[in-house]
Amino acid sequence: MTAQPELSPTGWVHDHTEKILKQGTTDGVQVFDRPVVLFTVTGAKSGKKRYVPLMRVEENGRYAMVASKGGDPRHPAWYHNIKAHPHVTAQDGETVRELTAREVEGAERDHWWKLAVAAYPPYAEYQTKTDRLIPVFVLE
């Protein structure tokens, strides 16, 4: 039996995840008036499943996960989880899909970064707050 994925201890993340799980869809759940996708990742060290709601960045059935952490100098914890375990579940609306994540670079990253900023303009500001290049993963 697979254990239920863990909710984030961060208040707003926890609350949004609970709402998605309760209603069975990401539809109508927004962060800063933007739609989200609920990702389920596997812990790098623990192996536990964890929920990660992120802004919806999608193109032709592929999704991006932007590791912004609001411009923090460190990557979000889920970044390390994806690097260790790239198989991810994505729930968009009621549709749940199994996808594989890969970190993108160069022109491909530039393309997805533009899509991400169009979906959620504060990403551009977050990049100015940190010296690290904010990682972008494409899931397909």
The structural domains of the chain, with segments of one domain joined by +, span 11-139
Average pLDDT for 41-61: 94
Task: Convert the chain into a string of H (helix), E (strand) and C (coil).
Answer: CCCCCECCCCHHHHHHHHHHHHHCCCCCCEECCEEEEEEEEECCCCCCEEEEEEECCEECCEEEEECCHHHCCCCCHHHHHHHHCCEEEEEECCEEEEEEEEECCHHHHHHHHHHHHHHCCHHHHHHHCCCCCCCEEEEC
pLDDT beyond 70 at 46: yes
Does domain 11-139 bear CATH number 2.60.450.10? no
Backbone torsions φ then ψ of 123, nearest 5 degrees: -55, -40
Separation CA 112–CA 132 (nearest Å): 17
pLDDT beyond 90 at 21: no
Tell me whether residue 70 is exposed, middle or buried, using C-beta atoms within 10 angstroms of its C-beta: 0 to 12, 13 to 18, 19 or more: exposed
β-pairing, 62-66 vs 136-139, is: antiparallel
83-126 residue pLDDT tens: 999 999 999 999 999 999 999 999 999 999 999 999 999 999 99
User: According to the model, what pLDDT value does residue 2 have?
Assistant: 55
Separation CA 138–CA 94 (nearest Å): 20
pTM: 0.89
Separation CA 116–CA 122 (nearest Å): 10
User: According to the model, what pLDDT value does residue 17 have?
Assistant: 84
User: According to the model, what pLDDT value does residue 3 have?
Assistant: 67
* Torsion sign, CA atoms 33, 91, 58, 135: positive
User: According to the model, what pLDDT value does residue 14 have?
Assistant: 77
